[in-house]
Structure 1
Amino acid sequence: MSDSDAFDLDQYLAHIGWEGERRAGLATLRAVHLAHMRDIPFENLDALRRTAPSLELPDLMAKLVHSRRGGYCYEHNTLLATALRALGFGVTLLAARVVVGADRIESRPRTHMALLVEVPGDPQRYLADVGFGAIGGLLEPVPVVVGEEFEGAGRGHRFVQAPHRGPLELLVLQAYEGGDGGDGDGSRAWQPQYAFTLEPFEQVDFEVINWHIATNPRSPFTKGLFVQRVTPDRHLLLHGRVLTETRVDGGVSERELTDEGEVRRLLDEEFGIEAPEGMKLLS
């Protein structure tokens, strides 16, 4: 079965609520990316049950488009990559090391999928990523240019080059988290998110990585609930028992959940997720 047989662009675009012109331009790329981010939640319910989610397109359409479910990076970005190719964009799969909270880039394996997108007629290439389950993730694609600062849908990002032993340039995506750098010179405070080279990866590579992340008892996604939803007004994150709401005005509130029923209702009403019957949600 070809991608065109397994994937329905009309159904995907209708689901994310995008009705713009189907032309492979930068405006389309940004709009589809943002619409996807705001419509389909990030969640790890399959991995929490030690089950690797399918990355086959019919299964992704059934889960992320036709059901009240979401997914994690391999699911989200496989679906977006397919949609972008159907719209006429060039897409290369990238593998990144998530470095949030890491002391060294090399201490983290390449487990995150991101996308390098080429826009017809545009010499610039763009990083797209609708599957990064953190507030430092992209809401809109950003040009892959070192040293410049970019803002998309209210979030600031930049790329810096990091030293490493390989022959390819190692880029680190950083997110602006507000405030200054703490040295009094007016510089902004930036938080590293993930590091990657532009080496192409194939879907079969992520089949292996997906299985590892979803079944390894040391994986963060098998240890506790991790769900996020992005709206124009806020970023909502449920990590384990802690629900964190970050509003666009910078306000942050947290509360701890202790009741399985409350978590199930929250997933349904706030995240748009129907959790499988009988699944234990709190560890």
Structure 2
Amino acid sequence: MNVFDVERYLDRIGCAGATGVDIATLRKLHKKHLMAIPYNGATQDFSDGVRLVGLDEDATFESSVVQGRGGTCFQLNRLFARLLTELGYDVTLLAASTAEGWEASGLDVEHSFNRVALDGDEWLVDVGYPGPSYIEPLLVRDAVQSQYGCQYRLVERGSRIALQRRGRVTRWSVVYTFTMQPRQWSDWKDMEDFLAQEIAADTGPQDGTKILCGRTFDNGQVVLKGRRHLTVRDGREEIRTITDDDEHEQLVSHLLSGEFE
């Protein structure tokens, strides 16, 4: 029996009845998804191996969306692409890599996200990045775009495009680099193999330093990476290092539940 259900999905992210195929609806779906479903790097069960290419979308929908546990780009952007496609949007899968991810794996498919073609324009759509990043779809164009106190721009870097972001008082920094080459899930086979090797070799302590989670609120985002806690509100950033274990555990719990404000 299929579990994936469009109406249930829309209701879960606070968008019941939002079935239009237009930019206003796309913006709403994107932002509400980020607010309702967290990025949660701890959701993937690798007990029976890494499954990126042959991901069970129905089981993932149940855990990530219905149960609200969230997920990573491979889970959330894949489900969101399916939702948009079933609503009638023209969706293309893309791949990206952060500087840190490239240094670790040497692969340009570290991150997955989507492009939507709509009324002659192309939009970047990404509900599976921990942040900070764009809260609403980003138009593919040369001009600087502003969202909730932050600015974004796309800069050509050789054969790749760098998505750059800056807050009100911060400098431009790269979120990730990518190409407009359409992808298919089989392209992530090398990433599967890399993650499997990393997991097999990981014997380090579980001390909270490998935590990676994030969630969006109405005018910003909060990200917890290891012990580094970053809040962006109206483009203003606040960074703290969490040294107390109890506070760290509480922050993870509140962020994943949405009770962090």
Q: TM-score range by the shorter chain?
A: 0.7 to 0.9
Relative to structure 1, is the Cα distance of residues 7 and 156 closer, same or farther in structure 2, using a 3 angstrom cutoff?
Answer: same
1:138 to 127, 134, 138: 134
Q: What does 1:1-283 align with in structure 2 at a 5 Å threshold? A: 5-46=2-43, 52=50, 55-99=55-99, 109-119=108-118, 122-135=119-132, 137-145=133-141, 147-164=142-159, 170-179=160-169, 189-206=171-188, 208-210=190-192, 212-213=194-195, 216-217=198-199, 224-248=210-234, 250-259=236-245, 262-272=247-257
Q: Deviations over 1:40-99 (max 9, x none)?
A: 111111469786366321112111112241111111100110110011101111111213
Partner of 1:281: none
Q: Deviations over 1:20-43 (max 9, x none)?
A: 541111111111000001111111
Structure 2 counterpart of 1:43, one-letter code: N
Q: Is the 8 Å Cα contact of residues 74 and 131 (structure 1) preserved in structure 2?
A: yes
SS in 2 for 1:200: coil
Structure 1 counterpart of 2:228, one-letter code: V
Whole-Å separation in 2 of the counterparts to 1:210 and 1:107:
13
Deviates more, 1:85-94 or 1:192-201: 192-201
Whole-Å separation in 1 of the counterparts to 2:45 and 2:230:
20
SS in 1 for 2:218: coil
Whole-Å separation in 2 of the counterparts to 1:74 and 1:202:
12
Whole-Å separation in 2 of the counterparts to 1:210 and 1:30:
31
Structure 2 counterpart of 1:272, one-letter code: S
SS in 2 for 1:80: helix
Q: Is the 8 Å Cα contact of residues 131 and 221 (structure 2) preserved in structure 1?
A: no
In structure 2, list runs of 5 or more residues that go unmatched. none
Whole-Å separation in 2 of the counterparts to 1:272 and 1:88:
31
Displacement of 1:15: 0.7
Larger Rg belongs to? 1
In structure 1, list runs of 5 or more residues that go unmatched. 165-169, 181-188, 274-283
TM-score, structure 1 as length reference = 0.76
**Once the two structures are aligned, what percentage of the paired residues are identical?**
26
Q: Is the 8 Å Cα contact of residues 24 and 88 (structure 1) preserved in structure 2?
A: yes
Q: Is the 8 Å Cα contact of residues 230 and 237 (structure 2) preserved in structure 1?
A: no
Structure 1 counterpart of 2:123, one-letter code: Y
Whole-Å separation in 1 of the counterparts to 2:189 and 2:106:
22
CA-based RMSD of the aligned residues comes to 3.1
SS in 1 for 2:168: strand
